[in-house]
Amino acid sequence: MSETFLEDATQAAGTVTNRLGIGRREFLQFCAATATTLGLPAGAEAAIAKAVEKAKRPSVIWLHFQECTGCSESLLRAEHPTIEKLILDLISLDCPETLMAAAGHQAEAARKAAMKANKGKYILVVEGAIPTKDNGIYCKVGGQKAIDMVKEVAADAAAVIAMGSCASWGGMPSTDPNPTGASSVGQILGKPVVTIPGCPPNPYNFLATAVHFLTFGKLPDVDELGRPKFAYSRLIHEHCERRAHFDAGRFAMEFGDEGHRKGYCLY
């Protein structure tokens, strides 16, 4: 097991990053990038740096249900910072089913211990849809049905994040005829849930959401679908360098034609 997973969760992130040899400049660059992702005003990186350096790393319990693990894979492949250098030391990833060394009853014991030690303070991340048909028998973890587990863990969570399209909307498992009754986290819990859709989702949207919670003690503003506004309120189309051509009705009809060579819109 990586040394990172053995860190004392009571240590502030600043203490851990210093021990790992992450320089001040690299750390501030990360804070600045996070502030930009969140759409915060100039100077906000200082507030983020202060909060991250001094705050106890928030406990994160990550559950997997009907999914392909692509969301976790996306997070593991994040860069700037890489997950092994910083992300796992910004948060205390206490129950990562994909990564943890424990298995079986030991894994379930670790989850329950994390819930007890951080009651009312941990962040619950759910990856995958949750089956509801036939009393939810189509997905069990440690003998416990997914629908019962997510309700149990969410009851004492400070925040709930649905990671990926399956957890956010039901995703592929819910496609017609949906034999298992796959449902989203929000449908199951009937309470506000931050959704980070995508197949897979952008890992930095999750990271920025966690840092926002760490910095301000609350989740970021969300839209009517529960998505963080900093990430989902704008379209790439709005900032495209070819946008003027779109507005003027100038389009490339095929690659290599005159419109393409002139930089016309590719829509």
The strand pairing partners of 123, in sequence order, are 60, 159
For the chain, give the DSSP string: --GGGGS-TTSBHHHHHHHTT--HHHHHHHHHHHHHHHTPPTTHHHHHHHHHHHSBPPEEEEEE-BS-SHHHHHHHT-TTTTIIIIIHHHSEEEEETTT-S--HHHHHHHHHHHHHHTTTTPEEEEESBB--GGGGTT-EETTEEHHHHHHHHHHT-SEEEEESHHHHH-TGGGSTT-TT--B-HHHHH-S--EEE--SSPPHHHHHHHHHHHHHHSSPPPB-TTS-BHHHHSS-GGGG-TTHHHHHHT-B-SSTTSHHHHTT-B--
In whole angstroms, what is the distance from residue 146 CA to residue 150 CA? 6
Name the phi and psi angles at 249, rounded to 5: 80, 25
Strands 59-64 and 123-127, by their bridges, are parallel
pTM: 0.74
Give pLDDT, residue 3.
39
The pLDDT tens digits for 169-193 are 999 999 999 999 999 999 999 888 9
Domains of the chain from N-terminus onward:
3-234 (3.40.50.700), 235-267 (4.10.480.10)
pLDDT value, residue 49: 65
Per-residue confidence (pLDDT) for residue 90, from 0 to 100: 74
- pLDDT at residue number 123: 92
| φ, ψ (nearest 5 deg) of residue 111 | -65, -45
Residue 127: name the closest of 82, 60, 32, 180 by CA.
Answer: 60
pLDDT in tens, 131-175: 999 999 999 999 999 999 999 999 999 999 999 999 999 999 999
Residues 6+ apart with CB under 8 A from 118: 59, 94
Closest CA to 35 of 226, 158, 235, 216: 216
The one-letter code for the residue type at 66 is Q
CB 213, CB 219: distance < 8 Å: yes
Angle at 234 between CA 265 and CA 163, to 5 degrees: 115
pLDDT per residue rounded down to tens, the chain (267 residues):
333 333 454 455 455 455 545 566 676 676 677 666 666 666 666 666 665 565 577 888 999 999 999 999 998 888 766 676 656 667 788 888 888 888 899 999 999 999 999 999 999 999 999 999 999 999 999 999 999 999 999 999 999 999 999 999 999 999 999 999 999 999 999 888 999 999 999 988 988 888 788 778 888 999 999 999 988 988 888 889 999 999 999 999 999 999 999 999 998
Q: Which of 171, 209, 211, 162 is nearest to 189 (CA)?
A: 162
